[in-house]
Structures are given as C-alpha cells and as structure tokens.
C-alpha cells in the first residue's frame, strides 16, 4: 500500500465525540448528458473498494447525483463535485456561480478531455484552478483515469474551510448572466489553447453551420425523422412478418396437439390460444420495429445530434417562453415518456421544468407505436411514413400550443431564460452504448409483455368468454356490457363498443390496445368496421388521451400531485375534443 493511499484511508476514519464515524455527502452536478451518472457510480464503487480494503467497518462517502443547482437548496452537502464537460466548457463554467450560490465548497472535475484533445485543443488545468480558485482535476470513467485523485481532492476539501477570497465568490452578489459570461470568456482566453491546424475544427463548424442553419436546419431535421420512420416501417416489416408467421404456426400446432387429446373445447385451451397467444403475440410482433426506432434514437443521442436539434428549436421555444433544452426531453419522449420527464430535471428554471414535464405526454412514445403501425399498415399502406410523421407532428404542435396557453397563466408566467450557446462536438457513437440503450428499451418492452400485456390479455379474454363461454357470442359477454356502458360518450367520435373497450385496456399500457384488438377482431381490423377516417381518429385519441400509469406516477413524483391529476383530466378532454372535431369534419368532406 502506498503512503498516499494509507493517508487517504486514515483520513476517512473521522470519529465524532461518541465514537461513531461521520457521514459525508457529496453532490455530483453537471450539464445534461455530461456523464454525471457514470461518474457518480464510478466514484461510489471506488469508495466501496477502498473501504473494503482499508476500513471494512468505516462509514463511507456517499455520492448523490444532482441535476440542477436549485436541488442543492435546503440540503446539506460537504462538497459539491461539478463535472465540467470539456467539449462544452463555456456552458459548464457558467453553471459554477450558480452552484456557489448554494454551496461554497466545490471541486471541478474536467471530463471528456480526450475529446477536446482529439481536436488538437488543450486546456491549462492548473491555471484554470488558479483563476477560478477551486480544486480542479481531470477524470474519465470511460478511459479509467483520474478517479482516485479526484476522490482524494474531495476528501481534502471536506476538511478545509471554504475560501471566499476569490473574485468568483464576489461576482455572485453583484453580477448578472452577461458579467458571468464575460468572466468565463476571460478565463478560457487565458487557459484554452486552440489547435494550430484548425482543419478538423473547420470541418466540424461546416457541419454545424448546415445542421443549425435557420433555413436548412429544420427541413434537415424533418428529413432525418422521416427517414427514421421509413426505416422503422420498411426494414421492420420483414422480421415482423416472420414473427407473425411463427405465432400463427405455433397457434396451429397447439390447436392440433390439443385436438389430439380432445381438449380443443376446454376453456383453458381457449385461454391459451385465443387469449394469451393472440394478445401477447400481437404485441411481440412489433419488437423489431421498436429495436430499429431506438437504434436511431440512440445514434442521435450519442453522436450529439440531439443537442443540435435543441439548438435548432431554441428560437421557436423562446417564442413560447421556454428554453431550447426543453426540446431534448420532448424528443426523448418519442422513446418513453417516463425517462423523458425525469430528464427535465436538468432544466434549471423550476417553472420551465414543470411545464416541460407537462408537455412530454403529448409526444408519441414507443408504446403507442404498435397501435399506429397496426392501423397505418391496414389503412394507409401507400403513405405509411407520411401518416406516421403527421401524428408525431400533431403531438409536437399541440404541446407547443399547450405551452403558449400555460405560459399566460399565473403558474408559469415569467421572464425568458437564456439561450443555447454551446454545442457538444460530434462524436462517433459507441457500439457498446448503442447496444446497451437498445437492450434497456427492449428489456422494458419484453417486461411489459410478460406482465401488463399478459394479464391484460387474460382479463380481456375472460370478460369476452364469460358468462356465455362462447367467443362467437360477444354481444352477451361481460366485455360487451362494459363497452356498451362507455360507448355513448365515444359514439360521436365514430367508435363502437369494441373500440371503447380497447381504449380502456390502454390505460395501464398502450401496447394492451393491440392485444385487445387482436383478441376482439382476430387481428384483422380492416374487416372490423374501421374506415380510414375512424382509424385516424382512433390513433389521434390514442396519441392524446390518458398517458400510461407509469407516466402519471412519474409526474406525481417529479411535478406534484396536482399536476398529475391535471394531466389526467386535460388529456381526456383534449383527446375527445380533437377527435370529435376531426371525425365530424371528415364526415362532411
């Protein structure tokens, strides 16, 4: 054991008067998508290793991930560790004065320094530490360097008195954002060395100028989204067809095997084939499309293009009183509303944060995708990608309109926030990160199939099968009774009782709508009374009405009970109203 490590281990054993060891809480904060979670986990693991090696019974340092400086208020932390993204130095250092407003003991950890070096730039870290006046170090979880040194700096900072002698501490009392930015510019002028040969940077700037051009940026973004949906449909159609053929073959094989043992008329064979296999199989068939969609979303996130989409939308978002960074959670909502709402934690302004969370459910999450694909394939085969992107565009437009209205209420009225000034460099997406991201979403999808969809299929089959015990006599089933009870409210939208039942089963999870359709209509919705108009109206209702139970629970936790209930009621009203207008106008055309 080195002398340095021994000293560090000894320093961890800090006893109070009663002999118990002192707990130390360290907050980890940084810009969105800067690697806070990875750094937090890595440092916590390192503390655990050192504790096991040196002091098995000692209390350890606890690292807590914090998303914005407001979360520091009212909490006691021994030190705040700010992760500075070397590819976004200006925006990162603009966060420092806001952190000092809440906590005077801070440590800067420079991350992604290898990406800065890859562009032939360099940062004089000792001089940066001298100018800012806080301990500074380099770290990289991916490359595995700097973590022990960072931990030792944190431990030393815990026991040192907070220093308020440096100018950055006095700026907070008298400076505005422009003064902060001028101060940061001065620091970077002194510490950041640009490349002698700037061909690489020029190439990057040319790409940025095209992608963020006020006239070209938005059409390029829409073209990319169109290409994503086209690939989702076209490439996903082949494995989707194979899965459907496999499920049909399995169903036929099970029917033959059960008939061999004269079990074909029993209720449990009907449950297995007409309930579980039909319901679960219908949702499982869309798994390839889900994989393709998340593959592209992962590429956009890891490459840095997602940040450029936020930059493109920044001017538009400011016109409705929001920050361009609010667009990032909205884009993440295309994958899943739950992590998208949680991603809004990174928005510093509390009013913008809550409003962004309320806008996220308007985004068409992947759970709605199987419903869209089922109807689009059946009724809009010649315009699949166009109809699909129109649904996503409608969700975005309605979310913007919703924000404009809410910004004029007393709850969200405020001054405009700052703009998106800095973009992360383009980087080649890592195959490991992409695979991990896809697997996370696939695992979540399969978990839903094995839990919510499975139980929903069983319940729907039971309500359809009983009390007549005849699937051909649906009109006298419990399911028909439920559907006929709620159908008067939905008849003005062109929905019959079966469609109404499907919407009810979609409350816990939207994928359950597909399994219910498969059970009620045998998978052939084109011959089930739907028309292109009712199909589009149905998709609109699915887009806008009650988000899944997990989304409401997340809103309850992140934004508060009142906003969760507000989302429940306003989404139901808006879905009915918009669907009614579209259907009634469509009937007149």
Residue 241 and residue 286 in contact, taking contact as beta carbons nearer than 8 Å: no
Domain stops at, among 193, 211, 235: 193
Co-location of 153 and 225 in the same domain: no
Domain stops at, among 156, 175, 193: 193
Co-location of 129 and 230 in the same domain: no
Q: What is the pTM of this model?
A: 0.69
- What residues contact 56, with CB distance under 8 A and at least 6 apart? none
Identify the DSSP state of 108.
Answer: E
Task: Return the pLDDT at 57.
Answer: 45
Residue 91 lies in a domain: yes
Residue with tokens 């890592």: 430
Residue 419: count other Cβ atoms within 10 Å of its Cβ. Answer: 13
Residue 202 lies in a domain: no
What does each C-alpha distance from 404 to 66, 303, 320 come to in angstroms? 29, 31, 5
Residue 215 lies in a domain: no
Pairing of strands 61-65, 106-111: unpaired
Distance (Å, whole) CA 341 – CA 11:
40
- What residues contact 44, with CB distance under 8 A and at least 6 apart? 62, 63
Task: Provide, for the chain, the percentages of residues in helix, strand and coil under a 3-state DSSP scheme, each rounded to the nearest 5.
Answer: 70, 5, 25
Task: Return the pLDDT at 586.
Answer: 94
Phi, psi of 216 (to 5 degrees): -95, -30
Co-location of 164 and 284 in the same domain: no
pLDDT (tens, 9 = 90+) of the chain, 589 residues, equals 344 433 333 344 443 444 444 578 899 998 877 888 888 888 888 888 776 665 544 457 889 888 777 778 778 888 999 999 888 888 888 888 878 877 878 899 999 888 777 777 888 989 988 888 889 999 988 777 888 899 999 988 888 877 666 566 666 555 566 777 788 888 888 888 876 655 555 566 677 778 878 788 888 988 888 888 888 888 888 898 899 899 989 988 888 877 776 655 567 788 888 888 888 888 888 889 889 988 988 888 777 787 777 777 776 777 766 766 677 788 778 878 887 887 787 676 788 889 999 999 999 988 898 999 889 988 998 888 889 889 998 998 999 899 889 888 888 876 555 555 556 666 677 787 788 888 888 888 888 888 888 888 888 888 888 888 777 777 788 888 998 999 999 999 999 888 999 998 888 888 889 888 888 887 667 766 789 999 999 999 999 998 888 889 889 888 889 999 999 999 999 999 999 999 999 999 8
Residue 245: count other Cβ atoms within 10 Å of its Cβ. Answer: 11
Domain stops at, among 193, 209, 230: 193
Cα torsion at 445, 448, 453, 454 (round to 10°)? 120
Residue 210 lies in a domain: no
Smallest Cα–Cα separation from 233: which of 368, 370, 392?
A: 370
Co-location of 434 and 578 in the same domain: yes
Give the domain CATH number at 16: 3.40.50.300
Co-location of 233 and 175 in the same domain: no
Co-location of 336 and 271 in the same domain: yes
Phi, psi of 453 (to 5 degrees): -65, -40
Residue 204 lies in a domain: no
Residue 552 lies in a domain: yes
Alpha helices in 360-430 (DSSP H): 369-379, 384-406
Co-location of 229 and 85 in the same domain: no
Residue 198 lies in a domain: no
Co-location of 299 and 345 in the same domain: yes
Judging by beta carbons within 10 Å of its beta carbon (0-12, 13-18, 19+), is residue 340 exposed, middle or buried?
A: buried
Distance (Å, whole) CA 399 – CA 433:
30
- Tokens describing residue 458: 């069983």
Residue with tokens 């949680």: 342
Task: Return the pLDDT at 435.
Answer: 86
Task: Return the pLDDT at 130.
Answer: 86
Task: Return the pLDDT at 8.
Answer: 38
Alpha helices in 18-65 (DSSP H): 36-54
Task: Return the pLDDT at 341.
Answer: 87
Distance (Å, whole) CA 66 – CA 141:
18
Co-location of 182 and 228 in the same domain: no
Q: How many CA atoms lie within 13 A of 370 on its CB side?
A: 29
Total residues found in the chain within this entry: 589
Distance (Å, whole) CA 458 – CA 280:
10
Total domains present in the chain: 2
Smallest Cα–Cα separation from 120: which of 198, 3, 172?
A: 198
Task: Return the pLDDT at 490.
Answer: 93
Residue 309 and residue 221 in contact, taking contact as beta carbons nearer than 8 Å: yes
Distance (Å, whole) CA 582 – CA 584:
6
Distance (Å, whole) CA 104 – CA 134:
10
Residue 207 lies in a domain: no
Task: Return the pLDDT at 451.
Answer: 86
Co-location of 517 and 477 in the same domain: yes
Residue ranges making up the domain that contains 179: 3-193
Co-location of 121 and 228 in the same domain: no
- What residues contact 280, with CB distance under 8 A and at least 6 apart? 449, 453, 454, 457, 515
Co-location of 169 and 226 in the same domain: no
Asked if residue 467 has a cis previous peptide bond (ω within 30° of 0), the answer is yes
């Amino acid at each position: 054991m080195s002398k340095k490590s021994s000293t560090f281990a000894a320093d961890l054993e800090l006893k109070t008067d009663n002999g118990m060891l002192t707990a130390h809480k360290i907050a980890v904060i940084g810009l969105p998508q800067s690697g806070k979670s990875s750094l937090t986990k890595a440092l916590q693991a390192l503390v655990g290793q050192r504790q096991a090696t040196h002091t098995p019974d000692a209390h350890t340092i606890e690292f807590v991930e914090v998303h914005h400086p407001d979360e520091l208020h009212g909490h006691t932390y021994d030190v705040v560790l700010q992760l500075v993204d070397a590819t976004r130095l200006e925006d990162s250092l603009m966060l420092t004065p806001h952190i000092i407003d809440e906590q005077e003991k801070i440590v800067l950890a420079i991350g992604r320094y290898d990406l800065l070096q890859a562009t032939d730039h360099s940062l004089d870290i000792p001089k940066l530490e001298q100018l800012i006046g806080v301990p500074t170090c380099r770290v990289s979880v991916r490359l595995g360097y700097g973590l022990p040194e960072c931990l030792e700096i944190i431990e030393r900072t815990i026991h040192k008195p907070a220093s308020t002698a440096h100018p950055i501490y006095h700026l907070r009392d008298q400076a505005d954002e422009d003064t902060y930015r001028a101060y940061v510019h001065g620091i970077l002028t002194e510490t950041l060395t640009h490349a002698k040969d700037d061909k690489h940077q020029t190439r990057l700037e040319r790409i940025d100028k095209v992608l963020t051009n006020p006239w070209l940026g938005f059409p390029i973004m829409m073209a990319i989204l169109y290409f994503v949906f086209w690939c989702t449909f076209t490439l996903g159609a082949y494995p989707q067809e194979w899965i459907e053929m496999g499920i049909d073959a399995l169903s036929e094989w099970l029917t033959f095997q059960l008939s061999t043992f004269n079990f074909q008329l029993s209720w449990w064979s009907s449950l297995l084939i007409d309930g579980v296999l039909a319901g679960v199989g219908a949702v499982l068939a869309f798994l390839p499309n889900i994989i393709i969609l998340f593959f592209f979303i992962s590429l956009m996130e890891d490459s840095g293009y997602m940040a450029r989409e936020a930059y493109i939308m920044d001017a538009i978002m400011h016109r409705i009183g929001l920050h361009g960074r609010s667009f990032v959670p909205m884009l993440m909502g295309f994958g899943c509303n739950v992590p998208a709402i949680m991603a809004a934690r990174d928005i510093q302004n509390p009013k913008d944060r809550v409003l962004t969370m309320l806008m996220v459910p308007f985004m068409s999450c992947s759970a709605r995708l199987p419903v869209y694909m089922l109807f689009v394939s059946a009724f809009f085969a010649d315009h699949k990608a166009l109809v699909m992107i129109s649904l996503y565009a409608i969700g975005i437009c309605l979310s913007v309109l919703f924000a404009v209205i809410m910004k004029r209420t007393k709850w969200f009225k405020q001054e405009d926030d700052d703009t998106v000034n800095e973009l992360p460099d383009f980087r080649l997406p890592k195959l490991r990160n992409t695979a991990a991201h896809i697997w996370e979403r696939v695992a979540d999808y399969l978990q839903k199939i094995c839990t919510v969809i499975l139980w929903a299929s069983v319940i729907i089959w039971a309500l359809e099968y009983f009390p007549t015990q005849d699937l051909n006599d649906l009109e006298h089933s419990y399911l028909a009774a439920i559907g006929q009870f709620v159908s008067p409210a939905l008849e003005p939208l062109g929905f019959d009782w079966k469609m109404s039942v499907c919407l009810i089963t979609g409350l816990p999870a939207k994928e359950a709508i597909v399994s219910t359709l498969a059970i009620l209509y045998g998978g052939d919705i084109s011959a089930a009374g739907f028309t292109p108009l009712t199909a589009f109206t149905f998709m609109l209702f699915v887009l806008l009405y009650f988000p899944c139970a997990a989304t409401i629970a997340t809103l309850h936790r992140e934004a508060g009970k009142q906003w969760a209930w507000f989302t429940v009621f306003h989404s139901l009203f808006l879905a009915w109203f918009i669907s009614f207008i579209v259907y009634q106008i469509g009937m007149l055309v």
